[in-house]
Amino acid sequence: MTPPDDSFLPTRSSLLSRLRHASDNAAWQAFSDNYGRLIYQVCLRTGLQRQEAEEVVQETMIAVARQMPRFDYDRGRGSFKGWLAVVTRNHIADFLERKTREAARRVDLPGLKGDAFAARQGATLVDEIWESEWRQHLLDLALRNLRKQLPARSVQIFHMSVVDGWEAEKIAGALQISRAQVYLARHRASRLVKREIERLQNELD
């Protein structure tokens, strides 16, 4: 079986090594492709508007770029994904704090501030959203990688079944195929997607 096309996906270690050089545009594009949308979706789910989310993504990317020259990745101390989640969470918090201060000035309430409990609640919420979006992100990447290996119909059946939650009978009727064909395609696609997600976790986590 032909392995997935990794041309857009350097290994985590090689990518982090290349990101130490701000001039490596290809590496930063790969980083943006693989993590930028994840950060953006997390921002949206925390309640930011699209323009606000784009602003936080840009701020997060700049922060990562500034830290990369001295960044020392040690898997024993935690995952890269976990580190990036903290950076993202901090920038979301900073943005919301600036927004709150600005709102307080507009309504002449200089004492308006979130208490420590609310801050902890917010951090927990962002962490939960990050993990949820991370799982979806891996699934999206896995499906994108496997499109060259699987027939388009198999990918469609997997998406209708696993992502959209359609029953086999409904899929068979919509595509005018037998339920046996649905079961076979879904099983084959599920096996490959699971394997690809595991590979991606090892490379990107």
pLDDT tens readout for residues 106-133 = 554 444 344 443 555 566 788 889 999 9
Q: Is residue 140 part of a domain?
A: no
Higher pLDDT, 181 or 147: 181
Asked whether residue 129 falls in the same domain as residue 198, the answer is no
End residue of a domain, out of 105, 134, 163: 134
Let me know whether 126 and 157 are in one domain. no
- What is the distance between the alpha carbons of residues 37 and 89, in angstroms, rounded to a whole number? 15
Q: Which of 134, 159, 186 is the last residue of a domain?
A: 134
Average pLDDT for 191-196: 92
> What is d(CA 18, CA 4) in angstroms, rounded to the nearest whole number?
22
What CATH number is associated with residue 101?
1.10.1740.10
Mean pLDDT of the region 179-198: 92
Q: Which two tokens stand for residue 111?
A: 């004492």
Q: Which secondary-structure segment (H or E) carries 16?
A: helix 12-18
Name residue, tokens 């029953």: 167
What's the pLDDT band for 1 if we cut at 50, 70, 90? very low
Last residue of a domain, one of 134, 160, 193: 134
CATH, residue 200: 1.10.10
pLDDT band at 160 (very low <50, low <70, confident <90, very high): very high
Are both 95 and 32 inside the same structural domain? yes
- Whether residue 122 is found in the same domain as residue 169: no
Euclidean distance between the first and the last CA atom of the chain, given in angstroms as a whole number: 25
For the record, the structure tokens of 164 come out as 């959209």
75 & 116 share domain: yes
Is residue 59, in this structure, part of any structural domain at all? yes
Instruction: Say if residue 40 is in the same domain as residue 105.
Output: yes
- For residues 118 and 157, membership in a common domain is answered with no
Token pair 């919301």 is found at: 96
Q: What is the mean pLDDT of the chain?
A: 80
Range of the domain at 44: 1-134
- Least confident range from 118-122, 159-163, 186-190: namely 118-122
Residue 194 and residue 117 share a domain? no
- The pLDDT assigned to 55 comes to 93
- Per-residue pLDDT tens over the stretch 49-102: 999 999 999 999 888 888 887 777 666 666 788 888 989 999 998 888 888 777
- Residue 181 domain-assigned (yes or no): yes
Query: 118 and 21 share a domain?
Result: yes
Q: pLDDT of 7-66, one tens digit each?
A: 333 446 677 777 877 778 888 888 888 788 899 999 999 889 999 999 999 999 888 888
Give, as one character, the DSSP assignment of residue 21: S
Same domain, 175 and 86: no
**Residue 150 binned pLDDT confidence (cut-offs 50, 70, 90):** confident
